[in-house]
Amino acid sequence: MPAIRLHLNNLHALIIRDMMTRFGRNNLGFIWTILEPMILCTGVMTIWSLIHDSVIRGIPIISFVLTGYMPLTLWRHMTNPLVRVISNNAGLLYHTYLTHLDIVIARQVLEFLSSTAALVLIYLILLSLGLAEPVQDMGLLLAAWLLIGWFHSGIGLIIAALTEKYERAEKFVGPANYLALPISGVFFMVDWLPSNAQRLIAWNPTIHGFEMFRAGFFGESVATHYDPLYLGLWSLALTVIGIAAVQSARDHVHA
């Protein structure tokens, strides 16, 4: 218990420090952790609403964009900020009770919480304006959101380790995310694809997160295809690999 309490205290202190460092000590700085993903999603929804019909394959365009770009925002925030996150905070390792893993997890918790707050606020705003419908299965939607966060936190751990061990690795993080985007499920649903393509795309674990999230949001009115166990096993494997990778990267970080 004392060890767990120590790590929780470390995480709390590191999260507060990250917020201070990135956004300043004024109130707007803290609010910006939520406004930043909100602005991205709002901008995308506005553009899509202007260039597409109000309904796409029976789904309101704003809700479709919301259920695609908010998980995408979580994906981006759980991976991109992890590039060389340990080296960028290496001075903290002067405190012997802090670990490399504490630094990585603290950043991921901050990103997850800010993305979650942004999702809640933008949904409530759209719901109050009559631009989005009520969530049909809140439990399923929440489970999907947690699984998506867990999956990409595992990838984030690996990114944190690789960018410490190999200087050039950070150059590939952005391109890799962009290459994965077209087959991620942001822009389409599995049911829209031919049967052969559906079986093929099901191998991609990110598809299951987006489909599950939309299943929770739209309910049975929309056909979805997902396997939470498959996504959970991927998430577990990536987490185990990621933790081991961060531990092995310690010798490449100098405080």
Number of helices (H), then strands (E), belonging to the chain: the values are 10, 2
The pLDDT of residue 26 is 58
User: What is the DSSP secondary-structure string of 171-205?
Assistant: HHHHHHHHHHGGGTTSS--GGGS-HHHHHHHTTSH
The pLDDT of residue 7 is 64
The pLDDT of residue 6 is 64
The pLDDT of residue 197 is 95
Is residue 176 a contact partner of residue 82, using CB atoms and an 8 Å limit?
A: no
How do residues 154-178 score in pLDDT, each as one tens digit?
999 999 999 988 888 888 888 998 8
Q: How much is the pTM?
A: 0.89
The pLDDT of residue 96 is 59
The pLDDT of residue 112 is 93
The pLDDT of residue 180 is 92
Question: Cα separations (Å) of 94 from 13, 120, 175?
Answer: 15, 37, 34
Residues in the chain with pLDDT values less than 50:
none
The pLDDT of residue 253 is 65
The pLDDT of residue 252 is 63
